[in-house]
Amino acid sequence: MDWSLVIGNAAAELISPTTAAYALAAVGLAVHFGYTGLLNFGQAAFMAIGAYGFAVSVLYFGLPFWGAVLASLLASVVFALILGIPTLRLRSDYLAIVTIASAEILRYIVSTTSLASVTGGAGGLSAFAGEFYAMNPFAEGTYLFWPFDVTAKDLWVRVVGWSIVALATLLVFALMRSPWGRVVKGIREDEDAVRSLGKNVYSYKMQSLVFGGALGTLAGIIFILPRSVQPGNYGTGLTFFIWTVMLLGGAATILGPVVGSMVFWVLLSLTDGLLQGLVNQGVITFLTTDQIGPVRFILIGLGLMALVVFRPQGIFGNKKELQFNG
Amino acid sequence: MHCSTRLGKATRAVADNPSLAAATGIDVESIIRIVWVVAGALTGISGVMLGLFVQASWDMGFSILLLLFAAVTLGGLGTAFGAAVGAMVVGLFVELSTLVIPSDLKFAGALIVLILVLLVRPQGILGKAQRIG
């Protein structure tokens, strides 16, 4: 087994744009669930809005890069309002049902054949990031050191992606120390108590939903910049991966989602490389290389269960802060 | 049974407020265990029945999961009859809506109905209004 290849691939995941996108989406989810106590099971929908909002704006409406980013952010605000208006006054389980349902609605709509001229149907969309790469300030060549050596194009995506992650985490850090953050944390602990202090709980919940959703949308844009848009990516599986990432790091922590995302992707890559190597060398005889993909997700699922049982607060979490129930 | 037996009453008490239920002498953990066993058994039977007339596959449960959520919420969370009524409404709607909208959007149609019902009558068709707040 080629150890340097296995470890190199795993380490490269540390800074990959996919990791950044998952981290950003998990930061948004941490604003929803970790800080405000909103059970959002539709983070994949916000990412889909980022991805499709951006790609459709560029390809179909011919908007420039910044226009497309703004358009998808606007779409995500509208989407969050649509989700929030009927459900945020009700018990938290209603929001959970409506978010997961609307995420699926969105996925059906973008993959339907009757809209294929706009959304590309099941085939998705590609070749929309030209303007983004045209802004690349790095000259051609190879940058950084093993195992992070990347081309100028890859470096540009990574720099932009991780800068946005850093800005978003700083913003969330500042927000949660502000009076606004104290109110939403109060809502998580006891909604009625906050209401009796004269705060408009509904409005604060709505602001939190919109803000976390906007982070999810930015994550969706980062996610698609290095690849094409595929409707199959935005199923409930994506939502649950983001939940895994957030719970792994710690729900109500600043750095938790970022580190959780790194751990998640490094582990996925590492288990893949190790299992591939072991099967190829004949150490594991009861699996074929085709079966490794699903098997590593089984392992991740088991790991998540073990995490919830043995360390429910995540890597960074504070057990005292986790006494709330959704 | 959910409405009339001691177990049903205890279950509703736990759903409403676990710590208060525990304080009145209800064994919350065992109630939760019984509920999981009964719900799992009912779902198992429904899996057998579904397998009788559609092709069994590993993701057959996942494809109807959201429609189940829709059915339960539509009928009213916390009512067994509501779930049955909601299931009929969703089932009929999904199949009849293909007359108007493309068939690959038929599940989306049912989920949109769910959201609309929550807008105008959040407790569902048969649910009680005090549960939703």
Is there a contact between A146 and A8 (Cβ–Cβ < 8 Å)?
Answer: yes
Determine the distance from the C-alpha atom of residue A57 to the mean position of all C-alpha atoms in its chain, rounded to a whole number. 21
Query: Of A87, A100, A112, which has the smallest distance from its Cβ to B104's Cβ?
Result: A112
> In the predicted model, is pLDDT for residue A305 greater than 60?
yes
Q: What is the pLDDT of residues B72-92, one digit of tens each?
A: 888 877 777 888 888 888 888
Best residue in A83, A90, A325 for a mutation probing chain B (most B CBs within 10 Å): A90
CATH of the structural domain A3-321, one choice from 3.30.70, 3.15.10, 1.10.1060, 1.10.3470: 1.10.3470
B6-18 mean pLDDT:
84
First to last CA, chain A: 45
CA distance A132 to A134: 5
ipTM score assigned to the predicted complex: 0.72
Residue entry with tokens 């089932």: B91
Nearest residue to A125 via CA among A52, A76, A69: A52
Q: What does the block give as tokens for A57? A: 């704006």
- Neighbouring CB atoms inside 10 A of A178's CB total 11
SS3 of B93, please?
A: helix
Nearest CA in chain A to B118: A86
Query: Of B70, B122, B131, which has the smallest distance from its Cβ to A101's Cβ?
Result: B70
**Partner-chain contact A94 B122, CB within 8 Å:** yes
CA distance A123 to A110: 10
Query: Of A86, A91, A104, which has the smallest distance from its Cβ to B66's Cβ?
Result: A104
Nearest CA in chain A to B106: A108
Residues of chain B found within 8 Å of residue A85, distances taken between Cβ atoms = 119
Query: Backbone phi, then psi, for A151, in 5-degree steps?
Result: -80, 170
**Partner-chain contact A112 B102, CB within 8 Å:** yes
**Partner-chain contact A105 B122, CB within 8 Å:** no
The full set of domain ranges for chain B reads 1-56, 57-133
The pTM assigned to this predicted structure is 0.85
> In the predicted model, is pLDDT for residue A323 greater than 70?
no
Is there a contact between A26 and A252 (Cβ–Cβ < 8 Å)?
Answer: no
Residue entry with tokens 């070749």: A127
**Partner-chain contact B118 A86, CB within 8 Å:** yes
Select the more confidently predicted residue: B131 or A40: A40
Q: What is the pLDDT of residues A244-303, one digit of tens each?
A: 899 888 888 888 899 999 988 988 888 888 888 888 887 777 777 778 878 888 887 888
SS3 of A25, please?
A: helix
The answer, for B105 touching chain A at a CB cutoff of 8 Å, is yes
Residues of chain A found within 8 Å of residue B107, distances taken between Cβ atoms = 104, 108
Chain A contacts in chain B segment 15-44 (CB below 8 A): none
pLDDT band for B131, please (50, 70, 90 cuts): low
Q: What is the pLDDT of residues A184-236, one digit of tens each?
A: 999 988 888 999 999 999 999 999 999 999 999 999 999 998 888 888 888 88
**Percent of the residues in chain A that have a pLDDT greater than 90, as a whole number:** 38
Best residue in A85, A99, A105 for a mutation probing chain B (most B CBs within 10 Å): A105
CA distance A47 to A122: 17
* pLDDT of res. B13: 84
Residue A229 is classified by DSSP as: B
Query: Of B66, B69, B115, which has the smallest distance from its Cβ to A86's Cβ?
Result: B115
Q: What does the block give as tokens for B49? A: 């029945």
Nearest residue to B122 via CA among A129, A155, A178, A94: A94
The answer, for B84 touching chain A at a CB cutoff of 8 Å, is no
Residue A139 is classified by DSSP as: P
| Single-letter amino acid, residue A297 | F
